[in-house]
Amino acid sequence: MIRRLIINDFKSNRLITISTAVFMAAAAMMLGLTVFLFATLYSSISSLMIKAETPHFLQMHTGELSEEEIKAFTEKRPEVEKMQICGFLNLENGQLRIGDNSFDNNMQDNGLFCQSDAFDFLLDADNSVIRVSPGTVYVPVAYRNEYDINVGDTMYIGTEELSVAGFMRDSQMNSMMASSKRFLVNGSDYERLKYLGNEEYLIEYRLKEGSDTAAFATAYKDADLPCNGPAITYPLIKLMNALSDGIMVIIILLVSVVVLCISIMCIRYIVLTRLEKDRREIGMLKAVGISRMDIRKLYLSKYLLLSAIGCLVGSVSACVIAVPLGKGMRELYGEADDPVLVYALMIIGAILAEAMILLSVKRTLVSTEKISAVTALNGRSESRRSKNYWIPVSVIIMAAVFMMIVPDSMKKTMSDPEFVRYMGIGNSQIRIDVRRSQDTDDSAGELAARLAEDDRVDRYSVMETGAYRSFLSDGRAYDLILENGDHSIFPVNYTEGTYPQSEDEIAVSILNAEETGLEVGDSITICKNTKDGEAEKSTCVICGIYSDITNGGKTAKGCINDETPVMWSVMYVTLKDEVLPDEWMSEYSGGVSGTDQSIKIAEIAEYMKGMYGQTIRNIGKASLMTKSVACVVIMVVILLLMRLVIWRERRESSLKKALGFTASDIRMDYMKKLTFYLLTGLALGIVSGMVSAQRLAGILLGFMGARGIKFTTDAVSVFVVVPVLMILTSFIAAFISLREIANIKAYECLTTRE
């Protein structure tokens, strides 16, 4: 009997049935998709890092080193499982070309690398360890689409040539947020091409399970071992790998929550309307002795069936949508290690969404217990309150607009030139990077002198970065990557305090401040190098805390002038208005001599594009999906609620026709009401999106060390694209629903009872 009643109900109420199924499917799809992408990302990265045997501690070093000292230290550390020292042949980007694509404007540190013997393996498309043949090269997978590289293309390094044999995954440097990229070559080619670059060293450690990586890093620094370069730990590598795609997943999660709330709200109104429409039938069931529990079970059975359909459709849709959204993820990290578990978690996510909806339905069905048989059979409602079904239109439009604005504004914020100030970089026009070594120290000084004499330069600053040993107030040693120079010319964003103005002041990044517990006004002891090679301790005051997402987010800024070796120099330049940047950069691209390949120069916009282009593209995909989902949801919402309103006001519409009003007049009245509530929802959505989105962006980017972000609104999206999409979608749905007005007859007002 229940099955027959449900089937008959589906046949007689096709629109409501389909609408309910769509809402359930949308909620299941979005939550299932979020779980699927998150599980895939986590599993893929974990699998890649396990198969590649990523080092737990990595110290980059430029300059001479003593392997005996490093081995002696290693032998004293019981937590060390494996250790190796690998060469990295840093190449000048001006020498690199693959096919017709030059690397002149590439801001990454590109170099050659030989496959490791012990760990830190570079993997192929199947996540297998690559064995390279002489004369061939494996290119980072991140460059495949960026430079349209194909297997068989020729890679030119100066006058030397290598054939591209394939693409490889690098568990350390896969993400474009990592500042270096390794090209895998055979050992014989590495030795043959050594004269083309400067060799650096990667001092790598694998530790035993359960070892404290931070404690080991501190012990390494305390031993005064080679450290002329940044140090990286396993958790930081994992975080860098996850961030670019992780931000997209978090945005989709936000959209999922909004869609779930919309679905619960709409289905609640569907249930309430259905109960009111079925009041006489419910009264008859009670009159013949059917219990309240059985009546509730009857209705709940229908929604259980719809939720099963919604869960199935939503899960299949999530799998389909995950293909384009997860394409970049799969290219960078490979397939999930356990796809069965990923799909199982996705289904659990979809079931969870359905369970929340059914819980809401169950609570709503409690109202059937309040319906008495007598009043129901007389066709009267026990509640004199008239529900306003137009208010949900405003609320749902507001929610849809909000979830469309957030990804667009997030994308606009990260694309805005001002965003560099939250990266620990001054907001200049041009950035010049100079890799420092004994051979390039003179050229860096000559280039700075040339900038000082150039009349076309409006402002410039020279920043020199070195590694400094410091001591906290409790005696703990702490190593700082300290950038020295005049920070007043191109200041970064300071969440507290301001930039250093004297040698006894330094500013630290947010992540450094959190790790050390330092606050503005605290003191820290810095070890400076004197001309005679001695270390001189100097007390500095923390004058500011700033946002930074470069070098792992752990940096510092100062004005120290000493003999500490410079790891790299960065020069920021802003040109006068009449100067053409491209012509100016072409003059400086080769340094003072015109042939200096240690210099990389690019406009800040291009630098940002190279580092965060992947993340911005992922957010763009999420934004497109969000708009599509929002339009479908709004289409169904307007179709449903308009039909419900028309049904509730059918007697009034019939009476209007009897009084001489035409169907067009009645439609126009409905369109006026829809327009009012639509515009109200749009206004509320825009306001909530612009206010709340800044906090959400701050939370997302806070994971990378960027705080206090000033949100940049995409005006075209917020005030043109989103409103036009909402208005068009709503009006199309309204016109479809309002065709029902033509079917209302003037005589119905004489027979229809309330």
pLDDT score recorded for residue 28: 92
Distance of CA 484 to the CA centre of its chain: 31
Tell me the CA end-to-end span of the chain in Å, nearest whole number: 29
Q: For 520-536, how does the pLDDT look when each residue is reduced to its tens digit (9 = 90+)? A: 999 999 988 776 667 78
278 — pLDDT class (breaks 50, 70, 90): low
594, pLDDT greater than 60:
no
CA dist 570 to 435, 461, 637, Å? 9, 8, 55
Q: Check if the beta carbon of residue 111 is closer than 8 Å to that of residue 124.
A: no
Burial 523-555 (b: 16+ CB within 10 A, else e): ebbbbbbeeeeeeeeeebebbbbbbbbbbbbbb
Following DSSP, what letter does each residue of 27-83 receive, concatenated?
Answer: HHHHHHHHHHHHHHHHHHHHHHHHHHT--SEEEEE-S---HHHHHHHHHT-TTEEEE
338 against 572, higher pLDDT: 572
29 against 515, higher pLDDT: 29
* Pairing verdict, β 477-484 and 556-558: parallel
> Distance (Å, rounded) from C-alpha 546 to C-alpha 535?
28
643 — pLDDT class (breaks 50, 70, 90): confident
> Distance (Å, rounded) from C-alpha 413 to C-alpha 616?
10
79, pLDDT greater than 70:
yes
SS3 content of the chain, % helix, strand, coil (to 5): 55, 20, 25
Q: Check if the beta carbon of residue 547 is closer than 8 Å to that of residue 705.
A: yes
pLDDT score recorded for residue 383: 46
Q: For 407-438, how does the pLDDT look when each residue is reduced to its tens digit (9 = 90+)? A: 888 788 777 777 777 777 778 888 888 876 55
689 against 591, higher pLDDT: 689
Q: Can you name the residues that pair with 180 across neighbouring β-strands? A: 109
pLDDT score recorded for residue 6: 63
Task: Give the torsion sign (CA, 383, 641, 671, 657).
Answer: negative
Q: Can you name the residues that pair with 96 across neighbouring β-strands? A: 157
Rg of the chain in Å (alpha carbons): 32
pLDDT score recorded for residue 577: 86
> Distance (Å, rounded) from C-alpha 348 to C-alpha 409?
31
pLDDT score recorded for residue 640: 80
> Distance (Å, rounded) from C-alpha 16 to C-alpha 644?
9
Structure tokens at 545: 């805390």
pLDDT score recorded for residue 287: 67
Phi, psi of 462 (to 5 degrees): -115, 125
pLDDT score recorded for residue 439: 53
132 against 641, higher pLDDT: 132
1, pLDDT greater than 60:
no
544, pLDDT greater than 90:
yes
> Distance (Å, rounded) from C-alpha 190 to C-alpha 211?
34
Question: 5-9, 505-509, 591-595: which has the minimum mean pLDDT?
Answer: 591-595
**How much is the pTM?**
0.77
Tell me which residue of 691, 674, 686 sits closest to 718, measured CA to CA.
686
754, pLDDT greater than 50:
no
384 — pLDDT class (breaks 50, 70, 90): very low
Tell me which residue of 269, 250, 613 sits closest to 403, measured CA to CA.
250
205 against 745, higher pLDDT: 205
Residues 6 or more apart whose CB falls under 8 angstroms from that of 266 comprise 19, 23, 392, 396, 636, 637, 640, 641
> Distance (Å, rounded) from C-alpha 239 to C-alpha 663?
61
Q: Check if the beta carbon of residue 571 is closer than 8 Å to that of residue 448.
A: yes
542 — pLDDT class (breaks 50, 70, 90): very high
pLDDT score recorded for residue 81: 92
* Pairing verdict, β 535-546 and 198-207: unpaired
Phi, psi of 237 (to 5 degrees): -60, -45
Residues 6 or more apart whose CB falls under 8 angstroms from that of 698 comprise 707, 708, 709
Q: Check if the beta carbon of residue 138 is closer than 8 Å to that of residue 122.
A: yes
CA dist 659 to 16, 103, 419, 655, 743, Å? 31, 77, 63, 6, 17
pLDDT score recorded for residue 659: 84
Tell me which residue of 413, 376, 379, 440 sits closest to 623, measured CA to CA.
413
* Pairing verdict, β 96-98 and 80-90: unpaired
385, pLDDT greater than 50:
no
306 against 284, higher pLDDT: 306
647 — pLDDT class (breaks 50, 70, 90): confident
